[in-house]
Homo-oligomer: A and B are copies of this chain.
């Protein structure tokens, strides 16, 4: 059995670490073709959001909301897309996807974007600046 990659991230987030909250850890997403894309990962390994207690789900979303507001303050998107999928990695996590004013396909989800556009060209220093901006906004 392979280890869960998101359990690994929770244990040792490394350079992508943004913040630790009560139920979750916020990390910078890989796809910085959408600058500020952040992933909020549940600390506990749970595979199905709907199996958690309703109050716990609401509390987790409160953390997603806090992080999303900080992302909005840091990168000033036109809109934010929120997605909890688990189709690829079945460990509860939330994508906070900022859609910029110059987004080439604002009416569509980002899942039709080519992989290299998703990934973008942001270097390590750029990623560190985005993380610093989100952290500052989180307070």
Which bracket fits the contact residues of A?
A: 20 to 34
Copies of this protein in the complex: 2
**A90 close to B (CB within 8 Å):** yes
A54 and B66 contact, Cβ closer than 8 Å, known pairs A87-B107, A111-B112, A112-B111: yes
**B49, B61, B72: which contacts A57 (Cβ < 8 A)?**
B61
**A11 close to B (CB within 8 Å):** no
Chain B neighbourhood of A65, CB < 8 A: 49-50, 54, 57-58
Chain B neighbourhood of A55, CB < 8 A: 62
Chain B neighbourhood of A62, CB < 8 A: 54-55, 57-58, 61
Chain B neighbourhood of A49, CB < 8 A: 65, 68, 80, 82
In the docked arrangement, what's the CA distance between A68 and B86, Å?
15
Residues of A within 8 A of B (CB): 48-50, 54-55, 57-59, 61-62, 65-66, 68-69, 72, 79-88, 90, 99, 106-109, 111-112
